[in-house]
A and B are shown apart, each in its own frame.
Chain A
Amino acid sequence: MLGLFKRNALQVQDFPGFGGFSFLFYLYLYAPIVVLVVFSFNANQSATVWTGFSLDWYRAAFANQALRQAAGNSLLIAVCASMIATAIATLAALGTSRGARFKGLQLSMGAIMLPLVLPEIVVGVATLALFSTIGLSLGYGNLIIAHTVFCIPFAYLPIRARLNDMDLSLEQASADLYAGPWRTFRKVTLPLLMPGIVSGLMLAFIVSLDNFVISMMVSQAGTTTLPIFIFGLLRMGVTPDVNAVSTLILGVSVLFVSLSYLLGKKNT
């Protein structure tokens, strides 16, 4: 691991001290995570005094029905929201990057990015205001709608980046070979675009899964999401089952991201 930070003979691109500093930075990034994982195996009730190795808290976490429910809710909402958001974002990306310029293009792009640039609390307040005014009370539906909206820009960005990077010549070649526009889209554009779409989907999924502020403001009875559940656990104080639950979630996220990273590597 440390080999990553070692430098060989001083080359033109080496700035002294930056390597050491970066090492400290990585330490800073990972310190809380390491502590979390380590103490989730603590045999003791207290969360920070180590007494021995134990899997008790993990057993409790798996047995915890409320946790399973919250996890299931979060996953369900994330899957739906990310899929819908990605579909909408793909259309939008194609519209803004491929098609001809139409009046209000810049404005549209600004509007699409709006949920990304507004602070979460503002988006949360606005969504709550809307649902409250029209009295919308669909349980999961409310959250899915709220999540889809702020996931759109997250899905949009990688797709658009991919579109811009894509070589137009392949599509032109397809047109030269008398393939209709729909055929070209299906057989050439879409497959080439797929890595971008998958990227967008993953990003939207993680963003939805992780969301706390907006979900907190909008959630209704029985649709507790994982972050809200964790916040509820934190109310109980610092206890090892929070550590265990957190580590589990961490593990799943890391697994997921690693998977998408590896898949991404294989594709390019």
Chain B
Amino acid sequence: MHALPIANTLERRKAFQSFLGVSPALIAISLFLIVPIVIVIGYSLMEANPYGGVNKVFSTEAYTSLLFERQLDDSLAFADSYLLIALRSIGIAGLTTLITLLIGFPVAVWLAMQPAHRRGLLIFLITVPFWANLLIRTYAWILLLRNTGVINNSLMGLGVIDQPLQLLYTDGAVLLGLVYTYAPFVVLPIYATLEKMDIRLLEAAQDLYAGRLRTLRKVVLPIAKPGIMAGAILTFVPCLGAMIAPELLGGGTRMMLGNLIFRQFSDARNWPFGAALSLVLMAAVMLVLTVYALRAERQRVAKGGA
């Protein structure tokens, strides 16, 4: 692919100006994100100092640790420990994405169908919790879920149960917290695509005797698809590295990748391993995003873009 040379000086100057405009952002990000990532790659190939930090000695121990475990007697055995945590994280992230999509879709559809004057307020109401601190909101779930929390107290008070249900420190609690965190990220993109939908399409479907379910499947869903994809990505990617919900609601026994990585830089004092894990996580994220970008590009070209 070979573009025509920019013959026009004016155009060249404008292109240069654009570049100038973008440069502070690029400099900031290269310096404080891209260079650091290179440093992280470096760290992952160094030896861990048992008291924290790194020894500047080349070592691939960090990467071996991902799949193999040094047994207490120094032999290497295939270790599924971290693979398990990684798979669990992917599983939970996937499940969270699925649940948020299932919950978010009907809400987005309903929102889009509201009369215009109500919509602004309803959207505002959805975003308000988002602006409150995530730690606080997740902590509030502890208040609801613990053995002497609101839910258990109410159920016991109503006589439905006589022993408190174990709600907190379970996988379910973590899932609940994660879905809670990412729900707005799903509702809003789907809503954004549906907002522009022409109502007449629905009317046409009705005229052709399509039932509600059929209309939903054949008319609404295809239009919402880009929003669904965006929402899925916006949930799945951050959820892989989620830390707060698993930490507060999981009780220290349900580690996900985010907690595992964080630990390496605090108690576990194994920076190279933390670095290696971060890179693996980053690679996974890049993979997902590239797949998404390629699909989006293919769809755009298919629609007749250029």
Contacts and interface: CB of A to CB of B under 8 A. Distances in A.
A29 B129 contact: yes
B180 A28 contact: yes
Nearest to B140: A32
B72 interface: no
Chain B interface residue number, banded: 35 or more
A204 interface: no
A75 interface: no
B241 A120 contact: yes
Interface in A17-40: 17-19, 21-22, 25-26, 28-33, 35-36, 39
Interface residues of A, number: 91
A49 B289 CA distance: 46
Contacts of B29: 111-112, 114-115, 149, 152
Interface stretch (A54-62, A191-199, A253-261): A253-261
A152 B285 contact: no
B14 A25 contact: no
| Majority secondary structure, B binding face | helix
Contacts of A145: 32
Contact of A30 (B129, B261, B274, B285): B129
B135 A212 contact: yes
A111 B18 contact: no
B107 to A, nearest CB: 5
Given A12-B203, A29-B183, A119 B133 contact: no
Interface in A87-124: 87-89, 91-92, 94-96, 98-102, 105, 108, 111-112, 114-115, 117-124
B106 A4 contact: no
Interface string B131-173: 1111111011111101011100100000000000000000000
A91 B25 contact: yes
B30 A111 contact: yes
Contacts of B180: 28-29, 32
Interface in B241-264: 241-244, 248, 257-258, 261-262
Interface in A201-218: 206, 209-210, 212-213, 216-217
Given A128-B265, A212-B134, A213-B243, A114 B25 contact: no
A133 interface: yes
A22 B111 contact: yes
A115 B171 CA distance: 29
Given A102-B15, A146-B32, 10 more contacts: A16-B212, A21-B110, A32-B140, A102-B16, A118-B33, A132-B53, A149-B33, A212-B244, A249-B136, A250-B132
9 contacts: A17-B106, A92-B22, A108-B25, A122-B241, A122-B285, A129-B36, A230-B135, A238-B143, A253-B133
Instruction: Give me the 4 closest cross-chain CB pairs, A-B, nearest first.
Output: A99-B18, A119-B241, A95-B21, A32-B140
